[in-house]
Amino acid sequence: MQGGEVTTERYAPNVDADEKLISWSMGKSITQALIGIAAAEGTIDVDAPAAVSEWSDPDDPRAAITVDHLLRMTSGLSFAEDYVDDQASDCLAMLFGEGKDDCAAYAASQPLIADPGTTFNYSSGTTNILCRLLGDIYGRDDAFSAWADSVLFHRIGMDVDLTFDAAGTWTGSSFLHATARDFVTFGQLYLQDGRWGDDQVLPSGWVEYASTKQAENDEGTGYGAHWWMRDNQPGVFQASGYECQRIIVDPRSDSVVVRLGKTPIELAPNVDAWLDEILAELL
């Protein structure tokens, strides 16, 4: 999409514009949008300690973890984000194993291994803690879906399917299904600084907060607040998911690029090199 118009669209065999595909970790960036809306409504204070029952004892050092720490992946909680080794992966245990019935409880029960705010550790668990915070305020299952539709998805014309765990919490780290056009619409919202027509959907400054680098992973890739940077392209940021799901927001060219698929992780550098070529052509 460039200039607010879809300029190029291509699908693999047996997939079309109506096919809803999984977000994987692009759902984290959508969670960030909902947290921003809750902050604007006054129901969540991003800079305050997160209201997590597992940390309610003021003597628990985890009680110092703020919503901002969770958004920036600097909570200090132990969490192994591995997609292959099911013996070592907290992510797989949370989504598909012992934690699957209450993902947030699994994540919130992890011990602290660093002081909050000091160490970056990418964690699907922290996103699901954020989703439970939203659920505590706005309801579970259908009630949550109705709220999210009314404040975000339907306001910008998205039609999404959310997946909830047995506790009724949306698994925002990983499980949202939408069409490619829905995902590009979401990216367009961020390109427009959270505005949709005359409607300020996200609070002022929320996109800047999302897209300002505050930390980086071991490979040196920058991270803002539940959004990744594309460090070789200043000002460009992206929602990124397993198997090379991407929503790339490029203010330089007034464009949003979405790529969905099922690509082995070892081929991710090839996909991103191809996406770099597309971004260069849009300039």
Nearest residue to 71 (alpha-carbon basis) of 41, 100, 48: 48
The C-alpha atoms of residue 163 and residue 206 are separated, in whole angstroms, by: 25
Q: Indicate the length of the chain as a whole number.
A: 283
Angle of helix 180-191 relative to helix 26-41, nearest 10 degrees, comes to 50
The C-alpha atoms of residue 162 and residue 176 are separated, in whole angstroms, by: 5
74 within 8 A of 125, measured Cβ to Cβ: no
Lowest mean pLDDT, pick from 151-155, 223-227, 230-234: 230-234
What pLDDT, on the 0 to 100 scale, is given for residue 225? Answer: 99
Angle of helix 141-148 relative to helix 124-138, nearest 10 degrees, comes to 90
Lowest mean pLDDT, pick from 85-94, 126-135, 211-220: 85-94
What are the structure tokens assigned to 72, written together? Answer: 């920036």
pLDDT in tens, 26-61: 999 999 999 999 999 999 999 999 999 999 999 999
DSSP string, 104-146: HHHHHTSPB-S-TTS-----HHHHHHHHHHHHHHH-SHHHHHH
The C-alpha atoms of residue 145 and residue 141 are separated, in whole angstroms, by: 6
| Residue with token string 């959004």 | 227
What pLDDT, on the 0 to 100 scale, is given for residue 83? Answer: 86
pLDDT in tens, 80-126: 998 877 778 999 999 999 999 999 999 999 999 999 999 999 999 99
What are the structure tokens assigned to 283, written together? Answer: 């300039």
What are the structure tokens assigned to 146, written together? Answer: 């109705």
Nearest residue to 168 (alpha-carbon basis) of 200, 128, 208: 128
Q: Which amino acid is at 76?
A: G
Q: Which amino acid is at 267?
A: L
Beta bridge partners of 170: 164
256 within 8 A of 187, measured Cβ to Cβ: yes
DSSP class of 2: B
When the pLDDT of each residue in the chain is averaged and rounded to a whole number, the result is 97
At a CB cut-off of 8 Å and minimum separation 6, what does 20 contact? Answer: 160, 161, 177, 178, 179, 182
Report percent pLDDT > 70 for the chain: 100
| pLDDT exceeds 80 at position 207 | yes
What pLDDT, on the 0 to 100 scale, is given for residue 85? Answer: 74
Q: What share of the chain is helix, strand, coil (3-state, %, to 5)?
A: 35, 15, 50
The C-alpha atoms of residue 14 and residue 137 are separated, in whole angstroms, by: 40
What pLDDT, on the 0 to 100 scale, is given for residue 121? Answer: 97
| Domains in the chain with CATH codes | 21-282 (3.40.710.10)
Read off the pLDDT band of 20 (50, 70, 90).
Answer: very high
Lowest mean pLDDT, pick from 114-118, 148-152, 264-268: 264-268
What is the average per-residue pLDDT within 234-261? 98
